[in-house]
Structure 1
Amino acid sequence: MKLFYAPGVCSLAPHIALREAGLEVELQKVDTKTKAMEGGGNFLEINPKGYVPVLQLDNGTVLTEGPVIGQYIADLKPESKLAPPAGTMERYRLQELLGFLNSEVHKTFGPLFKPTTPNEYKDALRTQLGERFDYLSTQLQGKQWLMGDTFTIADGYLFTLLGWTQWTHIDLKKWPVLADYSARVAARPAVQAALKAEGLLK
């Protein structure tokens, strides 16, 4: 398998999942601005949508969209417990979490990275993210991970999103539950390995 990624962006979440599952993967770095791939090649030929993550299977099949890729990885290694079994209420709860993270947190961050976004709008987005962080803090209260005692693909996704606060003028210390949670995720060996492979840790 080959994971097309850019350091520190949302492709970090499936990268973490792959390492948590103990699956071998080839990493292909992508410049998401120029659409060029490290070593040559046009990324748009792999994913016409123009963004990562992309997981290319050994038979050439291409999967896009982080939450889908994460579930595929989890289902390849069910013993990793990165996702509850398909068809269970727990699996639907996981999908509920992934949908929330994708639409209500991930997409809200996007305009904060664009220099053309008006400052007033950025302030409104930070307020909205604060409300989402309030909700997530209550969901994590008294729990080690989002789904309870088991680390899942949702945790790798939330960890990735929380990491973006350092570049968007959001002080995560305002949400101590989330700050502590992020530190717990960061300490996991698989997460450390993913961060190092992407050049995010020395």
Structure 2
Amino acid sequence: MSLVLYGHPFSSYTQKALIALDETATPFEFRSLDPQFPDNIADWLSRWPLRKFPLLLDGDRQVVETSIIVEYLQIAHPGRHPLLPDDPMAALTVRFLDRFFDLHVMDPVQLAVGAKLGTLPMNPEAGHTLAAARLDCAYGWLETHLTGKTWAAGETFTLADCAAAPSLFYADWTHPIAESHPTLRAYRARLLARPSVARAVDGGRPFRHYFPLGAPDRD
């Protein structure tokens, strides 16, 4: 049985998994969780009632949480391009950066989005102000960290970059990366130019009207 990925093409965490699957040339079936596919949604909810996606199905095994999905792929379905280095200390650095992008870049975006949608107990302006402050702090750290590097952890594209691509894609929509951070801006551009990332972005393009903060006319 082939791998099956349940997710939405516009979801940052689904894109993170799609980038990893693309980078490793791993065959899989994608089952979109857009409302136009109610059967997929019903099947997904029967498997994972916590209502979080993506979810990877590998025979009888279900794998959730995107970072774990990527690590699972490396163990169970190693592809052409390992996304975690063999060296344990180098792998620890990649895992840290993966968490950094999820927790310190994507999480503020979700805060601003949640405030706008009314799913968080704060008004949209306050949510956006708080998100912007947190993103500015993360941008500043990344500007220094990325100096002299092609990718997040060095010269090799890894799990950290799978996390960085959708995080920075939506973060710059939420609170633009200032021109005072040229290294970070160049890194985001390199990510968006990478074929696996470009394909993930294109897959979500028809759904840009879903972005509650208003998708800019770029990227």
> Shift in Å at residue 45 of structure 1?
1.1
Over residues 5-34 of structure 1, what are the superposed CA-to-partner deviations in whole Å (9 max), with x where a residue is unaligned? 112322101100000000001111113xxx
The equivalent of 1:188 in structure 2 is 194
Tell me: CA distance 1:24–1:164, structure 2 relative to 1, closer, same or farther (3 Å): same
C-alpha distance in structure 2 between counterparts of 1:160 and 1:2, whole Å: 21
Structure 2 unaligned spans of 5+: 208-219
The equivalent of 2:147 in structure 1 is 141
Q: Calculate the aligned-residue CA RMSD, in Å.
A: 2.2
The alignment covers a number of residue pairs equal to: 194
Give 4+ residue runs of structure 1 displaced > 6 Å after superposition.
Answer: none
> Shift in Å at residue 183 of structure 1?
1.4
C-alpha distance in structure 1 between counterparts of 2:73 and 2:151, whole Å: 19
> Does the Cα contact within 8 Å between 1:3 and 1:54 map onto a contact in 2?
yes
The equivalent of 2:39 in structure 1 is 40
> Does the Cα contact within 8 Å between 1:74 and 1:80 map onto a contact in 2?
no
> Does the Cα contact within 8 Å between 1:156 and 1:185 map onto a contact in 2?
no
Tell me: CA distance 1:199–1:188, structure 2 relative to 1, closer, same or farther (3 Å): same
SS in structure 1 opposite 2:39?
A: coil
Structure 1 unaligned spans of 5+: none
> Shift in Å at residue 157 of structure 1?
0.9
Over residues 101-125 of structure 1, what are the superposed CA-to-partner deviations in whole Å (9 max), with x where a residue is unaligned? 2222222221211222421232022
Map 1:5-84 onto structure 2 (within 5 A).
5-9=7-11, 10-31=13-34, 38=37, 40-41=39-40, 42=42, 43-57=44-58, 59-75=59-75, 76-77=77-78, 79-84=80-85
> Does the Cα contact within 8 Å between 1:4 and 1:54 map onto a contact in 2?
yes
Q: TM-score normalized by structure 2?
A: 0.80
> Shift in Å at residue 163 of structure 1?
1.1
- Aligned-residue sequence identity (percent) comes to 24
C-alpha distance in structure 2 between counterparts of 1:121 and 1:193, whole Å: 31
Q: Does the alignment pair 1:172 with 2:173?
A: no
> Shift in Å at residue 196 of structure 1?
3.3
> Shift in Å at residue 97 of structure 1?
1.5
SS in structure 2 opposite 1:4?
A: strand
